[in-house]
Structure 1
Amino acid sequence: MTDPAPGAVLRGAVDLSSLRNRPQPPVAGDGVPAPASDGASASVPSLVIDVTDETFAQVLELSRVVPIVVDLWAEWCGPCKQLSPILEKVVLELGGRLVLAKVDVDANPQLSQAFRAQSIPLVVALVAGQPVPMFTGAVPEQQVREVFAQLLQLAAQQGVTGTAAVSGDPAPDAPAEPELPPLHAEAFDAIEAGDYARAVNAYEQALAENPRDADARAGLGQVRLLARVQDADLQAVRDAAAAEPRAVDAQFAAADLDMTGGHVEDAFDRLLDLFGALDEPERAPVRERLLELFALVGDADPRVIRARGRLASLLF
C-alpha cells in the first residue's frame, strides 16, 4: 500500500452499513450528540457513554471529529469487569482526544452481530466512520496505553484530530503524560511518532533488563507487527502469497496483513497450512511466528485455542 498508516489495512473488517442511516430518535440531554459542525470539537455528555443499537449511528458521525473506542461487554463477563475500568481511566486521562462508547452486547444484539463479537471483552475503534480492530480480552494497562497511542497516530493520519468536551465543562487541558518506566516511555513516544524501529529497540532493551516484563513483551509483539506492514503493498503481498504457497516470507507477509485487517483465523490458517506443507527442518520459523501471533490475540481467545489444537496435531 502507498499509505503507511496501519489504518489502511485495518479498515473494513466490520460491516456497519446496516447501522449507519437508520432513523434516530430525539436525543435527550444525556444522549449521544452529533459532532459540532466546525469539525474541530464536539460537545458530549461524558467522555464515557453508553451506546445502543438505536443511537449508534450518531456515534459513527461523532467519529468523524474525534476517535471513538468501542468497548463491547456484558454484565456476566469477568474479564470485562477487569478491562472496562482501565479503558475508562486511560480515556479520561487523554482529556477529550478519545471518547469511550460502551456497548452491552446482551442488550444490543445488532451491534454485537455487526462487530462479530464472538468473545468479549472486544475493543474496536471508529475513525471517520470506519472500524479499526484493536484487541480481544483483558489486557494490561500499559498495553491499552500503547494501542491508544497507535490509534491517535492513525486518526491524525486520517485527519481526525478534533476533541470532545463535556457539556458545560471548559475546554480540556492538554493531558498529563503518564508516568512510565524510561524504556516504555521511549517506546510510547516512538509509536506516536510512527518510528516503529525505535519502539522495537526500546522494548527489546526493556526485556533484556527484565525478561518477565509482560507489558514490554506484549508491546514488542504489536509494534513488530505494525513495523512489518508499515510499507507493505497490499496487492503485491497477496499476489506473491498466491503465487508461492510454500514461500515462507511471502506467507508471513500475507498473514501479517490478515492480522492487521482483523482476519485472525485467516492468518492462523495460512500459517498452519504452510507448517503442514513444509519439511521438518523448515518448520521452526513458522511455529515461532504462530506463537508470536497467538500471544498478540491472547491465549484465552477461542481462535487461538482452535489454532493451538491444530498445531499440536501437526506436530504429533
Structure 2
Amino acid sequence: MAPNTHVFDVTEAAFETEVLQASLQTPILLDFWAEWCGPCKTLGPALEQLAAEFNGAFRLAKVDVEANQQLAAMFGIQSIPTVVLVKDGQLADGFAGALPPAQVRQFLAKHGIEPTVPADEPEPATDSEPAADPQEVLTAAREAVTAEPANDERKLDLAIALLMTGDAEEARPLLTHLPANLATDARAQRAQSHLELLDSLPADRSVAELLNAAANGEPQDLHAAAVAQLLHGEPETGLELLIDLLRTHRSYQDDLARRTLINAFRILPDTELVARYRRKMSSLLF
C-alpha cells in the first residue's frame, strides 16, 4: 500500500513550520492521541482514511501527547482523542471524542473542506463556458433564477454575478439565506470574502484618489487603497499595500491586514500570485 502523503507526525519543534505556516496554504487537522488510548485507535485510522480520500484538501497532523506534552498543554487538551482544525494560521474549530466518519465529514464541510479531484482525473464537465462580460453573466444568472426560483444553486450563481458587478446590497440577502449545506460550499465562502471586501471599500472615491490618500501612510488609507486595487485596479499592488499594512500596523483593527489578505487569497484566480503573497504574509507572521 502506498504511504499516505497527507498524514504526518508533528513535534513541538516543527509545529510552527509544519502546522501554523503550512495552514496558510492547506488546512491542517491535528489529531491528539496516545498509544494507550482505546478510542484513538478507532478515530485515528478513520481520520487517515479521510485524509487520503480528500486528496490534499486537508492534511492530518498526528500529535502523540506523551511525546509532546507542552504542545498538548498549549492547546489545553484535557481528554483524548481531541481534534483541532488549524486554518489560515489560526485555530478554527475542534471536537473531542471518536466521532464517526460521517460526522467528521460534516465538521470538515462546515469549514468548506471537500474532497479534491485527483490530478489524473478530469474535472466535471460544465454545461457551458462562463461569459466574459460580467453583465452578460448577471443577465444569464437572473434568467436562471427566474426559471428556477426554488433552486438555491442558481441563487448562489446570481449572488456571485452581482458581486462581480459590485452590487453588494442585492447579493447580501442571497448569501445570507443560503441553506447550511450550500453556505459552506467553497464558492459561497469565496463570495462571502468578496462581499466583505466590497463592504470595506469607501464609496464614491476612485482608485486613484484612494492611492493618493494612501501616500500618507495612515492605516485606514492604506487599507482602502489596497481593497480598491484588489477589486478594481491591480491586484498585486493591492496585495503589496496589505503586506505593507501588516508590516507597519499589524494590530490595526484586530489584525485587519491579515484578515483582508486571507479574503483576497480566496477570490484571486492567479494561483502563482496568491502563493507568492501567502509566503510574504507567513514570513511576517512567523
Bigger-Rg structure (1/2):
2
Q: What's the TM-score, normalizing by structure 2? A: 0.40
Q: What's the TM-score, normalizing by structure 1? A: 0.36
Higher relative contact order (CA 8 A, sep 6+): 1
